[in-house]
Amino acid sequence: MKVRELYNQTVRRLRQGNIPDEALEAELLLRFFLGLSRVDFFLDDRELSCPELDKFETLLLRRLAREPLAYLIGEQEFWSLPFEVSPDVLIPRPETELLIEKVLSLVDEPDTFSGQILELGVGSGIITIVLAIELPRAEFVAVDLSAQALGVAAGNIDRHGVAERVSLVNGDWFCPLTPEAKFDFIVSNPPYVAGLIQNDLQPELGFEPELALYAGADGTVAYKRIIPECDHYLKPGGYVLCEIGSDQEEMIHDLFMAAPNLELLEICKDYAGLPRLAVAQLTAASQNVHV
């Protein structure tokens, strides 16, 4: 069978398996398997051997069993950059770019900003790495409870050349930090999926790490740990930005209202018009001024 025939067959099988974006997925899966660039893939029409076809069939069956494509190929694009991923970390989602865009909007001079940024729950490292690229003089502390996730993050940090400005820390939220640690920004995409709906979610989520997805029966456990403690680790006028679930706006509002030293500035909607990002500021700097 030739490459083009296998591609067309793969598209049909993915469609029959109810895999979204079947044409793109077929292309990415085959390009990974054959080690080809996009241009070379569309020019390659060689005959594949039986052993090659057998190996690709094994890979395709894993995708048809709903194992995420990113785990199969070991990579996911985010912010137009490639990142290594594994089942030890969440697969980056496009909506997380909103958090990065908001941080950058709060910095007057990105090229000269030399502040400190803390990320809680670094995962694959996408937030810290992109911010480190966009803020070339800033310094970062990135915390994660999973040593395996920190290993993935370390590889991505080296890959993108920002290791000198990023300190990776293994620990539970703020626990490994000293009381003297203060930051201009605290950012987090914590677990926020309610455990009660775990069985109703798309099958691909069953392959992602539960530690990074689920936060108790109602999805609030992480926020109840993070939000009340943020004020202890922010500089005057510092900001906290948390990605939130689309159904959690009221709950997040209430948690910030109960935090006496934090002012909830806004809850931003994502490109689908759904609540996605909470932005708050330490009330010691009572006005919403830029860093």
Mean pLDDT of 105-111: 94
pLDDT bracket for residue 201 (50, 70, 90): confident
pLDDT bracket for residue 130 (50, 70, 90): very high
In a domain, residue 75? The reply is no
Whether 287 shows a pLDDT value over 60: the answer reads no
pLDDT bracket for residue 37 (50, 70, 90): confident
pLDDT in tens, 140-190: 999 999 999 999 999 999 999 999 999 999 999 999 999 899 999 999 999
Q: Tell me phi and psi for residue 243, to 5 degrees.
A: -70, 145
- Regarding whether 99 and 41 lie in a shared domain, the answer is no
Give the residue from 279, 276, 237 showing the smallest Cα distance to 256. Answer: 279
In a domain, residue 70? The reply is no
- Regarding whether 39 and 132 lie in a shared domain, the answer is no
Query: How are beta strands 75-78 and 81-84 bridged, if at all?
Result: antiparallel
- Regarding whether 42 and 106 lie in a shared domain, the answer is no
- Regarding whether 237 and 270 lie in a shared domain, the answer is yes
Q: What is the Cα–Cα distance from 56 to 30, expressed in whole angstroms?
A: 8
Q: Which two tokens stand for residue 266?
A: 């806004």
Tell me what percent of the residues of the chain surpass a pLDDT of 70.
97
Q: What is the Cα–Cα distance from 161 to 158, expressed in whole angstroms?
A: 5
In a domain, residue 57? The reply is yes
- Regarding whether 230 and 112 lie in a shared domain, the answer is yes
- Regarding whether 241 and 137 lie in a shared domain, the answer is yes
Mean pLDDT of 31-53: 88
- Regarding whether 93 and 56 lie in a shared domain, the answer is no
Give residue 284's pLDDT.
58
Q: The domain spanning residue 113 has which CATH number?
A: 3.40.50.150
Whether 27 shows a pLDDT value over 90: the answer reads yes
In a domain, residue 13? The reply is yes
Among 14, 32, 65, give the residue marking a domain's end: 65
- Regarding whether 97 and 222 lie in a shared domain, the answer is yes
Mean pLDDT of 100-125: 96
Domain that holds residue 98: 89-282
Mean pLDDT of 205-226: 87
Q: Tell me phi and psi for residue 272, to 5 degrees.
A: -95, 5
In a domain, residue 59? The reply is yes
Q: What is the Cα–Cα distance from 48 to 140, expressed in whole angstroms?
A: 47
In a domain, residue 56? The reply is yes
pLDDT in tens, 218-277: 888 899 999 999 999 999 999 999 999 888 889 999 999 999 899 999 999 998 899 999
HSE-up of 55 (CA within 13 Å, CB side)? 11
**Count of structural domains, the chain:** 2
pLDDT bracket for residue 286 (50, 70, 90): very low
Q: Are 245 and 93 in contact (CB under 8 A)?
A: no
- Regarding whether 99 and 13 lie in a shared domain, the answer is no
Give residue 291's pLDDT.
42
- Regarding whether 194 and 93 lie in a shared domain, the answer is yes
Give residue 45's pLDDT.
81
Query: What residue type is 20 in one-letter code?
Result: P
Q: Are 30 and 6 in contact (CB under 8 A)?
A: yes
Mean pLDDT of 95-100: 95
Q: Is 230 exposed, middle or buried (0-12, 13-18, 19+ CB in 10 A)?
A: buried
Q: How far apart are the first and last CA of the chain?
A: 59
In a domain, residue 220? The reply is yes
- Regarding whether 102 and 54 lie in a shared domain, the answer is no
Dihedral sign for Cα atoms in the order 98, 68, 208, 220: positive
In a domain, residue 158? The reply is yes
Q: For tokens 């979610």, name the residue.
A: 201
Q: Say what the alpha-carbon torsion angle 110, 115, 116, 117 is, to the nearest 10 degrees.
A: -30
Q: Tell me phi and psi for residue 285, to 5 degrees.
A: -105, 90
- Regarding whether 216 and 177 lie in a shared domain, the answer is yes
Whether 77 shows a pLDDT value over 90: the answer reads yes
pLDDT in tens, 4-14: 999 999 999 99
